[in-house]
């Protein structure tokens, strides 16, 4: 029975590998047809995978551009530089101050729309100047199951989503990244730092920085991932993976977390016993799918 189980597992792994290799081939064909493109490159796994494949397919006819903004974490910024250097593709950096936009600062549920609209406007200017035919980003099939107002901004700006077009899920991307030896294959999801603010809570550059510093410190204590979410009255609610909650309860670690939170100017630090849940704040939004359909029609 054990031998049969192992055999079936290997067959399943081979099947997954074959499917992903086919998707990579389809992605290369898709990118090759585009001829030239600009990749919106955040330093997360999805856009890194897309940039690597675009580089090996189009070479000098691709450009990866990263927006160095207050909402970009130190971790993502480091990873963006590391992957670009490792694979040797063209990488440029622009500066966007989202906190200068009052609509963004107010942090409505469609905050991401304003952020992405500003970003894609700048990227369109760069693409036009460099005579690059298309703009693309790393949105994948899994993004269609969550509230993503940034997709509306992408549609309005003519941004294509090659990973969606070639049916890549997040799981597929991780397998593909291992095949291509991309060092971010196991990197957890990394939404921008603005996602730590509950909708309606004003966003400030100072608090974005505080969140970045605190999350970096907590990961340094041995946690594989972390979210430091802003709450009322100077409270920061910390989410770590559920299986790592015992580590947070250890006395030495607990004290280190509390010290880090106070240095980041939070009055109180509380631990969410439900564990880390990516996209947690979107649980507050009702009827996500109908909203997404309205966004695609441009009737938000």
pLDDT tens by residue, 52-98: 999 999 999 999 999 999 999 999 999 999 999 999 999 999 999 99
Same domain, 140 and 15: yes
Shared domain for 199 and 231, answered yes or no, is: yes
Higher pLDDT, 157 or 289: 157
Is residue 272 predicted with pLDDT exceeding 60?
A: yes
Residue 14 binned pLDDT confidence (cut-offs 50, 70, 90):
low
Assign residue 298 a region (left: φ > 0; alpha: ψ between -120 and 50; beta: otherwise).
left
pLDDT of 252 strictly over 50? yes
**pLDDT of the residue at 214:** 98
- The reply to whether 118 and 17 lie within a common domain is yes
> What is the value of pTM for the model shown?
0.88
Confidence class of residue 300 from pLDDT cuts 50, 70 and 90? very low
Task: Residue 238: give its domain's CATH number.
Answer: 3.30.70
Cα separation, 146 vs 143, whole angstroms? 6
Domain of residue 64, residue span = 2-179
Paired residues of 65 in beta bridges: 40, 92
Contacts of 126 (CB under 8 A, 6+ apart): 38, 63, 65, 92, 94, 132
Indicate if 20 and 105 belong to the same structural domain: yes
- Same domain (yes/no): 48, 154: yes
Given this model, what pLDDT does residue 145 score?
87
**Count of domains for the chain:** 2
pLDDT of 292 above 80? no
**What pLDDT is recorded for position 281?**
66
What is residue 266's DSSP assignment? -
Q: What is the pLDDT of residue 263?
A: 96
Tell me the C-alpha distance between 53 and 37, whole Å. 12
> What is the C-alpha separation between 123 and 157, in angstroms, rounded?
10
Q: Does residue 193 have a pLDDT over 70? A: yes
- What's the rounded Cα separation, in Å, for the pair 206 and 70? 9
């Amino acid at each position: 029975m054990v031998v049969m189980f192992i055999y079936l597992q290997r067959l399943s792994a081979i099947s997954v590998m074959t499917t992903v290799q086919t998707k990579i081939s389809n992605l290369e064909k898709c990118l090759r047809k585009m001829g030239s493109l600009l990749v919106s490159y955040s330093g997360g796994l999805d856009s890194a995978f897309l940039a690597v494949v675009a580089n090996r397919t189009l070479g000098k006819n691709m450009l990866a551009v990263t927006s160095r903004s207050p909402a970009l974490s130190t971790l993502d910024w480091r990873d963006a530089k590391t992957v670009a250097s490792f694979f040797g593709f063209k990488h440029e950096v622009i500066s966007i101050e989202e906190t200068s936009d009052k609509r963004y600062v107010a942090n409505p549920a469609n905050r991401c729309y304003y952020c992405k609209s500003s970003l894609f406007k700048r990227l369109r200017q760069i693409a036009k100047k460099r005579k690059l035919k298309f703009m693309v980003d790393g949105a994948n099939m899994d993004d269609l199951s969550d509230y993503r107002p940034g997709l509306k901004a992408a549609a309005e700006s003519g941004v294509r989503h090659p990973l969606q077009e070639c049916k890549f899920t997040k799981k597929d991307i991780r397998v593909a990244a291992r095949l291509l030896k991309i060092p971010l294959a196991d990197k957890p999801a990394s939404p921008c730092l603005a996602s730590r603010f509950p909708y309606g809570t004003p966003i400030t550059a100072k608090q974005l920085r505080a969140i970045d510093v605190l999350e970096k410190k907590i990961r340094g204590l041995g946690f594989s991932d972390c979210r430091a979410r802003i709450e009322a009255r100077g409270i920061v609610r910390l989410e770590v993976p559920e299986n790592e909650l015992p580590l947070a309860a250890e006395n030495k670690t607990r004290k280190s977390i509390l010290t880090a939170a106070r240095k980041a100017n939070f009055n109180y630090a509380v631990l969410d016993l439900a564990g880390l849940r990516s996209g947690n704040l979107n649980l507050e939004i009702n009827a996500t799918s109908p909203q997404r359909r309205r966004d695609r029609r441009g009737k938000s």
